[in-house]
């Protein structure tokens, strides 16, 4: 396989062709914030948090879908990027009804972690307080759309790994919502296998198990990579959970 050399934040690196910038950065312990990305799922480039600068073009590129080419000069942490990342988290915070203090994943939430990381001390956008629904019809799980950030991890894990395709998106723009099957109560979904994968990959408290109190829910998101590796590469090696 051909090898390409390039620089990230001033350091020279090389990688085999076909790897994306995010994978390479992680291999070298360079931190790029992400939200819609999850190891094992298809890449989307939708949350725009992993945007990086590439010398020679004014455009920004999502690290998760961009592959380096020979001689590429990549910057992951400029002032412009930091400012935009903060604004994106600000937008997410203003979009939903995120109340950390009463949330089931308080302290173990990726959105909360991102807010700390980008130094979000206040939100300049007016809160939208959308009128969102909560679906507790499933026997084991709950979907609280107030806490959803529309990363579509649940949609992808259900389609790509469980192959049930219970979840999809309805509506458009600011009115987008995750729906079960033909926009029906989750508990009545005939396609749901109750495997719980969507609950475990959800970055926030939008999907959770019944019976956990505030702050009690811990998620374990590394399993997707395990399943995908096991299937594709026949590697039945369980790595230690990444999130906790």
Partner 1 sequence: MTIEDLRECAEKEQARQAQFTHRILYCSSAGCVSSGCDAVKAGLRKAIDELGLSKKCEMIGTGCLGLCGEGPLVFVQTDRTLYQHVDEKSARRIVEEHIGQGKRVEDYAVDLNDAFFASQKKIVLENMGRINAESIEEYIASEGYEALAKALTEMSPEDVIAEVRKSGLRGRGGAGYPTGLKWDIVRKGVADQKYIVCNADEGDPGAFMDRSVLEGDPHRVLEGMALAGYAVGATQGFVYARAEYPLAIDRLKTAIKQAERFGILGNRIFESGFNFRIDIRIGAGAFVCGEETALLRSVMGRRGRPKVRPPYPSEKGLWDKPTVINNVETFANIAPIIREGSAWFAGIGTPKSTGTKVFALAGKINRTGLVEVPMGIPLRKIIFDIGGGTPEGTEFKAAQTGGPSGGCIPKEHLDLPVDYESLPTVGSIMGSGGMIVMDSTSDMVDVAKYFMEFCMDESCGKCVPCRVGTRHIHGMLDKIVRGEATEVDFEFLKETCVMVKETSLCGLGQSAPNPVLSTIRFFEQEYTSKLISAHEFNGTGLSPLSGAKES
Residues contributing to the site for partner 1 (CB under 8 A) = 44-48, 51, 58-60, 62, 65, 83-84, 87-88, 91-92, 94-95, 122, 124-128, 150, 168-169, 171-176
- Pick 88 or 120: Cβ nearer partner 1: 88
- Residue 35 CB, nearest approach to partner 1 (Å): 8
- Residue 117 CB, nearest approach to partner 1 (Å): 16
Pairing assessment for the beta strands 73-75 and 167-170 based on DSSP bridges:
unpaired
- Residue 57 CB, nearest approach to partner 1 (Å): 12
- Residue 90 CB, nearest approach to partner 1 (Å): 9
Strand partners, 6: 13
- Residue 110 CB, nearest approach to partner 1 (Å): 14
- Pick 1 or 174: Cβ nearer partner 1: 174
- Residue 85 CB, nearest approach to partner 1 (Å): 9
The DSSP annotation for the chain comes to: --EEEEEETTEEEEEETT--HHHHHHHTT-----SS--TTSPP---S-TTEEEETT-SSEEETTTPPP-TT-EEES--HHHHHHHHHHHHHHHHHS---GGG-TTTTS-HHHHHHHHHT-----SPP------EE--SSSEEEEGGG-----HHHHIIIIIS----EEEES-GGG-EEEETTT--GGG-SS-----HHHHH-SSTTEEETT--TTT-----THHHHHHHHHHH-----PPPS--
- Pick 2 or 58: Cβ nearer partner 1: 58
- Pick 62 or 222: Cβ nearer partner 1: 62
- Pick 10 or 58: Cβ nearer partner 1: 58
- Pick 24 or 179: Cβ nearer partner 1: 179
């Amino acid at each position: 396989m051909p090898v390409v050399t390039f620089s990230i934040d001033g350091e020279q690196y090389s990688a085999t062709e076909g790897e994306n910038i995010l994978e390479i950065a992680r291999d070298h312990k360079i931190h790029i914030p992400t939200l819609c990305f999850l190891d094992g799922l298809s890449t989307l480039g939708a949350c725009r948090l992993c945007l990086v600068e590439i010398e020679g073009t004014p455009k920004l590129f999502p690290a998760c879908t961009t592959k380096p080419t020979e001689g590429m000069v990549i910057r992951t942490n400029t002032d412009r990027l930091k400012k935009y990342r903060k604004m994106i988290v600000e937008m997410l915070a203003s979009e939903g009804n995120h109340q950390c203090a009463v949330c089931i994943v308080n302290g173990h939430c990726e959105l909360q972690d991102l807010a700390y990381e980008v130094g979000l001390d206040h939100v300049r956008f007016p809160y939208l307080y959308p009128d969102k629904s909560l679906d507790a019809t499933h026997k084991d799980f709950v979907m609280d759309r107030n806490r959803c950030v529309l990363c579509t991890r649940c949609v992808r894990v259900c389609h790509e790994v469980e192959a049930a395709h219970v979840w999809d998106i309805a509506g458009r723009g600011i009115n987008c919502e995750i729906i079960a099957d033909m926009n029906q109560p989750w508990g009545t979904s005939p396609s749901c296998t109750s495997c719980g994968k969507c609950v475990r990959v959800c970055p926030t408290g939008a999907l959770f198990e019944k019976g956990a109190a505030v702050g009690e829910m811990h998620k374990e998101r590394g399993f997707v990579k395990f399943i995908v590796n096991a299937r594709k590469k026949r590697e039945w090696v369980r790595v230690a959970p990444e999130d906790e």
